[in-house]
Structure 1
Amino acid sequence: MDKIEVWRLLDLGIAIGIFLLFLLFRRLFVRFLFTFLMKRLARMELAARVLEAFEKPLRGLFVLLGAYLAILYYVPAHWTPLLVVHKLFRSGMILLIGGGLYNLSAVSSVFMEGALKRFGGDDSSMLIPFLSKAVRFVVIVIAVTAVISEWGFNINGVVAGMGLGSLALALAAKDTLGNILGGVIIILEKPFSKGDWILTPSTEGVVEDITFRSSKIRTFADALVTVPNSTLADQPITNWSRMGRRRITFTLNVALDTDAERLTMAIDRIERYLMDNEEIDDETIMVRFNEFKESSLGIMLYYFTKTTAWKDHLTVRQETQLAMLQILKEEGVQLALPMQRIVVGGESGEARHEGNPERG
């Protein structure tokens, strides 16, 4: 073995040593330095999030840099394929930086939370996931474009081709684009948020998720309905979760022969009871005798419960109606019974019978 071969083997050993040294640095970085920096930056939330987002790209950087320096040391400077190595190294750096920015735009990112506050959103808003996906898409496009440019391709031609391709895609997928625009409208205008109970002409239930294309609604029959965003954006939406109070209205029918004084006393007592009830909103309470019917007198009741939860609302409604029955009983006012009028015609005249059909 001549001296040249010995020196080449020695250079190869040193190159391998350089690469292994960077692998060792990578392990030391992960085990010690990264953990140390995370502890020191625990109080600085922004810096900690940035470092956490770039953890994996930094690991890859040690591998990429070690392989690059090892190759540069081993191969001669005039080696023609070295140009390809340089391009591969620069492309790898672009992808690592893009990967860090991609991770930084995650849902939990401080930048996304700041954007949410500027838009006036809350924790249940779907604006953060939407912005996160949009930023990730932009990062991917920029990274891919930079890599293509690094390899000498004409970006103008690529952009022009993408423009024509986008036009064809838009024509072929206009419904999908309409759904995406509908999702943008829903997220920006915020007619509902995740977890809200909504009613639309097509469905009713609790919103579980909002994506680019559609919204998922869990109905009260426990079925999951997927509604295109373009459909929701064009429909009237009732958001029951944003009620400040919940209405109760019905007509209480009492006997047709009820004494006017007893009826007035019962109405006044029911109204006072509702005014004094802590579960009832006292801003709008109406108890009025407002209707003569064929076989009864109608008392209209119109009031609101303070709670909007359906179960609690039903409990309050039951308690108030039982109290009304007791008041009517104490005042001697009877509920209306079904009445039927029968007209019998005969040769000697007409006989009429009116009363409760149960009495015969």
Structure 2
Amino acid sequence: MFDWYYAWLEAWPWLHYVIAALIILVFLMLRKLFTRFIFAVIKKVSKHGKSHFLGNLLYAFEKPMRMLIVVLGVYFAVMYLNLQPDVMVVVNRLLRTFLIVFFGWGFFNFSGTSSDLFTRLGRKVDGDQDSMLIPFISRVLRGLIIVLMFTVIAMEWDYDINGFIAGLGLGGLAFALAAQDTIANFFGGIILVTEKPFKRGDWVETSTIEGVVEDIAFRSTKVRTFAEGLVTIPNSTIANDSITNWSEMRTRQVFSSIYLKYNSPVENVRNVLKRVDQELRDSPEVHPEEIEVYVREFEEYGMEMLVYYFTNATPWTEWLKVKEYFNMRILEILEEENVEIAIPMPDLYKHRDPS
């Protein structure tokens, strides 16, 4: 039945290569159709399902799957050409190598911080979407996946892993000495993500830097300063330093010193103190437990009136609004009580000569 087919191939041997190319072309066409159909079904199923875990897992393998179909097309094309056994041994090894890469690539994608795996893990373990624990674990897991993938590939190509490990043992001391800073930074990063002195987006201050935390990696932590500079600090340095996390303030302090003139009537000054104190205590924006309004010191150029309280608002802009409001109220009260603010300079009086 196929005598004509074999006759053509015998007459024109180059047709073998044409057919092999057609096989690859068919798989290239199937790649788009197959992946489009499969992932359309996955999308519908994941929408109706309670868990998106399976859908996200398969989406992580979307690009590896497209490449796998092309590789299978090339493999079947080579199989059709019926090459020499030695060549086919190498081809089979290449196929198995790509299968290893296929699974490694897919799980590498799935171990990203945005995957369903880490979203669920973050809710159960840490409970904070801004924590740096999940990104750090993701990086560690991705690193392990890459190491495992290359290890299995090396074993597939009969590379002596034991000899490599033994070689690491012989050079271990030199490696440890060369990498001691890197190791210290890595463990510093582990301390930071487990003890959680801060999270992404927190305003922190150390002995060397102040700003907002943007990221923590294996070796370093990135902090955005208020001048919009990005500072990279080794993890070992920041882990061994004292860290003030200003974002954890429950209330925020306001400390003001206002100098009043000595010629102010004493009763009016007492009224100012009482009225300012009452204004602060009546305000829902002020924490009621610690409010201090006193004449604290007698300075060279005036009486120092201390105004000390804590706002319930801790963000910078909201804190400034509360502080501004009470600063303006203090000015109004001083004006109403005819109490003037002293300035650190002598008053000048114009003296008329009686002659």
TM-score norm. by structure 2 comes to 0.84
SS of 1:283's partner is coil
The Cα shift of 1:101 comes to 1.0
The Cα shift of 1:359 comes to 3.1
Q: Please name the residue that 1:6 is paired with.
A: 10
Q: Distance in 1 between matches of 2:139 and 2:231?
A: 23
Q: 1:214 to 1:79 in 2, by over 3 A?
A: closer
Which aligned pairs between 1:93-132 and structure 2 lie closer than 5 A?
93-132=99-138
SS of 1:169's partner is helix
Q: Distance in 1 between matches of 2:196 and 2:104?
A: 31
Q: 1:276 to 1:176 in 2, by over 3 A?
A: same
Contact 2:35 2:65 in 1 (8 A): no
Q: Please name the residue that 1:207 is paired with.
A: 213
The Cα shift of 1:192 comes to 2.2
Q: 1:41 to 1:319 in 2, by over 3 A?
A: closer
Pair 1:60-2:67 in alignment: yes
Q: Distance in 2 between matches of 1:167 and 1:241?
A: 43
Q: Distance in 1 between matches of 2:322 and 2:25?
A: 74
The Cα shift of 1:220 comes to 2.3
The Cα shift of 1:5 comes to 6.9
Percent identical among aligned pairs is 41
Which aligned pairs between 1:1-360 and structure 2 lie closer than 5 A?
6=10, 9=13, 18-44=23-49, 45-75=52-82, 79-165=85-171, 167-256=173-262, 258-294=264-300, 296-336=302-342, 338=344, 356=346, 358-359=348-349
Q: Distance in 1 between matches of 2:195 and 2:135?
A: 15
Gaps of 5+ in 1: 340-355
Amino acid at match of 2:43: M
The Cα shift of 1:108 comes to 1.0
SS of 1:193's partner is coil
Contact 1:338 1:357 in 2 (8 A): no
Q: Please name the residue that 1:346 is paired with.
A: none
Gaps of 5+ in 2: 1-5, 351-355
Q: Which stretch has the larger CA shift, 109-118 or 157-166?
A: 157-166
SS of 1:281's partner is coil
What per-residue deviation string (whole Å, max 9, x for no partner) do you get for residues 103-158 of structure 1?
11122111122332343152222223222221111111111111111122222112
Q: 1:31 to 1:288 in 2, by over 3 A?
A: same
Amino acid at match of 1:335: I
The Cα shift of 1:73 comes to 4.7
What per-residue deviation string (whole Å, max 9, x for no partner) do you get for residues 167-213 of structure 1?
43331132233222222222222222222222222122222333222
Amino acid at match of 1:261: E
Q: Which stretch has the larger CA shift, 272-281 or 136-145?
A: 272-281
Contact 1:121 1:127 in 2 (8 A): no
Q: Which stretch has the larger CA shift, 254-263 or 304-313?
A: 254-263
Contact 2:252 2:311 in 1 (8 A): yes
The Cα shift of 1:246 comes to 1.4
Q: Which stretch has the larger CA shift, 295-304 or 44-53?
A: 295-304
SS of 1:227's partner is strand
The Cα shift of 1:299 comes to 2.7
Q: Please name the residue that 1:348 is paired with.
A: none
Amino acid at match of 2:99: M
Q: 1:144 to 1:268 in 2, by over 3 A?
A: same
Amino acid at match of 1:36: V
Q: 1:257 to 1:173 in 2, by over 3 A?
A: same
TM-score norm. by structure 1 comes to 0.83
Q: Distance in 2 between matches of 1:251 and 1:12?
A: 91
Q: Please name the residue that 2:3 is paired with.
A: none
The Cα shift of 1:260 comes to 4.1
SS of 2:269's partner is helix
